[in-house]
Structure 1
Amino acid sequence: MTTIYDIAKKTGFSITTVSRALNNYTDVSEKTKKKILEAVDEMGYYPNSIARSLTTKKSWTIGVIFVEDLGVGMKHPFFSAVIESFKQNVEALGYDIIFLSQNIGGEEKSYVDHAIHRGVDGIIVMCSDFDDVEVQKLIESPIPSLVVDLHSDKSSVIYSDNYRGSILAVDHLVELGHRNIAHIKGSEQTYAGLERLRGFRSGMEKHQLDVPSSYIADGGFFSYEGGYEAMQNILALGEKRPSAVFVSGDNMALGALKACKEAGVSVPDDLSIVGFDDIEISKHITPALTTVRQDTDLIGKKASEVLVHQINTRSRDYAVVMIPVSLVVRESTKAVK
């Protein structure tokens, strides 16, 4: 069986350097780390977890928690894509991930209690409501933690540039000649919903365009059903109907497309639609959805780097990472006739 001594001999580095590289210490250069990890893959090295835990005083596990209002967890395409990227990146550093709930053996426990029970080294929280009491307890606990999709000055956070993404969507529609643009917003109880609404209003103001109150429809917590019902309300405006709609999430945009189809409204001939997220199905539907792309691979990668750094250093210095977004133009938008 391959040992850490074999890795050291093959790479020419000391056992200490190999160990520090495998534990992702920041004082090991990326070039050195890359060479060591290549040798690990080539030689099939798998450190003994018990021995490694005794040596490093770590469990080599990271807890994953979902705190979001739809209650869909991993079923949500955005969350699942981020966690898959996060999983791949932390696994490359030797960590396993486990999902934490508020139930242990049929007994209700707090997330903190469950994390302590499992002995995790750190926690990544997929969250839409920062005011959640359990999230606050996690952040205030000594366990290293990171929250995705929120902004806070109380913990490390990673989120997309929701505000800028909304402006990109409005700019695109204006360039196509649209002036009457509505917005299906996500819940204002969420950071993403608030920022995307703020960006929409700023984008419209930039182009000196009015936003009647009837042009803001509430899609709730980013669900297909919420988008469907919100679009029905917009279509009910009749002659005062907008020529384009910016939807705060792709799941809602899918529901909005269904409402248009049922009403005999052609997208994009009669109505242009822009979504937000660029979930996988967005490019496969008809019409393919123009949308603002969140870089879920980069979100997951940066989340792994920030959280593992906190675990290794036990630092309480908080990192705030905002990930750029981009507009992906497909078939659901068209120039005004």
Structure 2
Amino acid sequence: MATIKDIAQQAGVSSATVSRVLNYDESLSVGDETKKRIFEVAEQLEYTKHKKVKLTKNGKIAIMQWSTEKEELDDVYYLSLRMGAEKRIAEEGYETLRVFQDTPFEMTKDIVGIISLGECSPVQVARLTEWGKPICFINFDQLIHKYDSVVVDFEQAVRSVLDHFIATGHTKIGYIGGLECYGDRSGTIIDTRTKIFESYLREKKLYVEGYCFIDSFEVKAGYEQMKKAISELGEDLPTAIFAGNDPIAVGCLRALQEEGIQVPERVSLIGFNDISVAKYVFPSLSTVKVYTELMGETGVDLLLDRMASNRQAAKKITLSTDLILRESTLN
């Protein structure tokens, strides 16, 4: 595992700055470019594969991101997906064209394929497919519309968290999750983790609606919803909390610490994604590891396969996850 010092040296900043950025310290006054550089270095240092010899090919692959650059910094999960895709694109000798959902874009002849990162509205899907370029959706299942897709097995992931909590004696299990809107604000995306959490705990006869709090997928929202749970539930606060992503979990951890609630002795906490931040908070965060680099690489591989073979049948690749247990849970 890379150290804070390793990241600091490569990013050209102090170790204290790296620590505060990775802990989402809102009192730290550094620009978004510095934050971006730190997060990118932290993610890059997680990659262990050797680079292939770069070939030279004509054409660009466009990465369409249904987020803004600011949103990418708030949840570096999408940054990590992008970096995995960019790495494979470079290995295969193509140039990457990055397009965020809030930036103007026109299709040009030198674009040979499209990688779509994240969930987008039906209108946005239609716009992408109207261009007639090979396309692969990452983190968004479009097999029903016969487009290649790379997704996470959320069912397996959420069940692994809940099974661990139950196996370690927890019967009061809470959830702090988020809602997202499509990039064009045409609708709300119902998070799959929330639905699976409810259905599985109902099956186990352990679901309590009052233990669930939903806002957005940000550190601030996790902090505020955890504070709300502590205030409303008091002594009935669950002994185990599953957070919809790692930034939410970081906010939860901060709120619990402010209230003097010990983690994991009083409340066990598990996040989701295993972004680089998870290792550097205190206590270090137990979380579901999503293989974001592999997702990005796999999406590009599917796209290149489609380009080379001109196959008509769409493919969906579902990747498993791993539960990584660290200091925020009693194991």
The bucket for the TM-score relative to the shorter chain is: 0.7 to 0.9
Alignment match, 1:233: 228
Q: 2:137 aligns with which of 147, 152, 174?
A: 147
Alignment match, 1:223: 218
Alpha-carbon distance between aligned partners in 2 of 1:75 and 1:97, rounded to the nearest angstrom:
23
The aligned runs of 1:147-226 (5 Å cut-off) are: 147-152=137-142, 153-154=144-145, 155-187=147-179, 194-209=191-206, 211-220=207-216, 222-226=217-221
Q: 1:121 aligns with which of 112, 125, 140?
A: 112
- Are 2:69 and 2:100, in contact at CA under 8 Å, matched by a contact in 1? no
TM-score (norm 2): 0.75
Alignment match, 1:89: 88
Q: Residue 111 of structure 2: SS of its match in structure 1?
A: coil
User: Number of residues paired by the alignment?
Assistant: 273
Q: Residues 230, 193 of structure 1: CA spacing in aligned structure 2 closer, same or farther, 3 A cutoff?
A: farther
Q: Which moved more, 1:276-285 or 1:87-96?
A: 87-96
**Structure 1 position 230, deviation (Å):** 1.4
**Structure 1 position 216, deviation (Å):** 1.1
Deviation track 1:104-134 (CA, whole Å, cap 9, x = no partner) reads: xxxx84x4xx2x2363111111123x32523
Q: Residue 223 of structure 2: SS of its match in structure 1?
A: helix
Which aligned runs of 4 or more in structure 1 are off by greater than 6 angstroms? none
- Are 2:55 and 2:91, in contact at CA under 8 Å, matched by a contact in 1? no
From the CA coordinates, give the structure whose radius of gyration is larger.
1
Letter in 2 for 1:121: V
Alpha-carbon distance between aligned partners in 2 of 1:288 and 1:77, rounded to the nearest angstrom:
17
Q: Residues 118, 238 of structure 1: CA spacing in aligned structure 2 closer, same or farther, 3 A cutoff?
A: farther
Identity of matched residues, %: 24
Alpha-carbon distance between aligned partners in 2 of 1:245 and 1:102, rounded to the nearest angstrom:
33
Q: 2:285 aligns with which of 285, 289, 311?
A: 289
Which 5+ residue runs of structure 1 have no aligned equivalent? 1-37, 54-58
CA-based RMSD: 2.6
**Structure 1 position 195, deviation (Å):** 1.6
- Are 1:219 and 1:252, in contact at CA under 8 Å, matched by a contact in 2? no
Say yes or no: does 1:325 pair with 2:321: yes
Alpha-carbon distance between aligned partners in 2 of 1:319 and 1:178, rounded to the nearest angstrom:
39
Letter in 2 for 1:163: E
Alignment match, 1:300: 296
**Structure 1 position 332, deviation (Å):** 0.6
Which 5+ residue runs of structure 2 have no aligned equivalent? 1-49, 183-187
